[in-house]
Amino acid sequence: MSEPILQSVNEGVLTITLNRPDALNALNKPLMEAMRAALAAAAHDENVRALIVTGAGRGFCAGADLMEPPSGPRPNSRGQAVADGMTSHFNPLARDIAHFPRPTIAAVNGVAAGGGVGVALACDIVVAAKSAKFIQVFAPQLGLVPDMGCSWHLPRLVGAARAKGLALLGDRLSAEDAEKWGLIWASVEDCALMTRAGEIAAKLASGPTKGLVATRQVLDVAMDNDLVAQLDLERRTQFELGNTADFAEGVTAFAQKRAPKFKGA
């Protein structure tokens, strides 16, 4: 059997490729466990300064593998089985991606459905091939609610009306429309996807990674804070970042009129 994920590191950029192309990279337990282990190892690897997540074959990720046979003790009900899977695998994976301590990029190379959308949106920046589609299959096809963070991301990114339309109707959203709606950063020609994702990752990897991750964190809570709370969060975060070597380097480089050389410290 092939490995459920593939990994490669190039100039500080770790690329994790979901590697179940025959199943459109559907999320089963071995894949999620392998991905979580890879993320945990990379989080402690100082040589990793940015992350790209993509899929093998013609799809990015089809969401949960509904054909995966049950394992472990038999649950009391189907609902209990779904909830148990979320507790043990799906929710931890979504958190691990969203809280990864380096900048993250999703390179969506094909269909992203259900939890596959959640995997993509958990990343900081999403770039999609023009052939890619985003589909919320939960309610219209399964009678479930959006999960893996989709119910959190969608209204914040595209607004309540569009979020409800996507979730209730299950229509396929093209990469180009996803870009227009603000769901993703950019759509590109299929042949240029990994080149563009690599360019973005290289830029982030050479940047002040602590400051970049802190920027993600303050933006993530901005819509839930009032202005006063957000101003106070900005002040606390600037206090922490103002004591970093990267801030000192940025100020020095500005004064010397040269490009800064950040180390993520």
262 assigned to some structural domain:
no
Same domain, 164 and 215: no
Query: Residue 64 maps to which CATH number?
Result: 3.90.226.10
Contact 219, 225 (CB under 8 A): no
Identify whether 261 is part of a domain. Answer: no
Q: Are residues 242 and 123 in the same domain?
A: no
User: Are both 151 and 50 inside the same structural domain?
Assistant: yes
Instruction: Name the residue range of residue 105's domain.
Output: 5-205
Count of the separate structural domains present in the chain: 2
- 217 domain-assigned: yes
Kindly state whether residue 130 falls inside one of the protein's structural domains: yes
- Same domain for 220 and 100? no
**Are 197 and 171 members of one domain?**
yes
Residue 91 maps to a domain: yes
Please report how many Cα atoms fall inside a 13 Å half-sphere around the Cα of residue 212, on the Cβ side: 25
Print pLDDT tens along the chain (265 aa). 689 999 999 999 999 999 999 999 999 999 999 999 999 999 999 999 999 999 999 999 999 999 887 776 777 888 999 999 999 999 999 999 999 999 999 999 999 999 999 999 999 999 999 999 999 999 999 999 999 999 999 999 999 999 999 999 999 999 999 999 999 999 999 999 999 999 999 999 999 999 999 999 999 999 999 999 999 999 999 999 999 999 999 999 999 999 999 998 8
Who contacts 249 (Cβ-Cβ below 8 Å, separation ≥6)? 260, 261, 262, 263
pTM score:
0.95
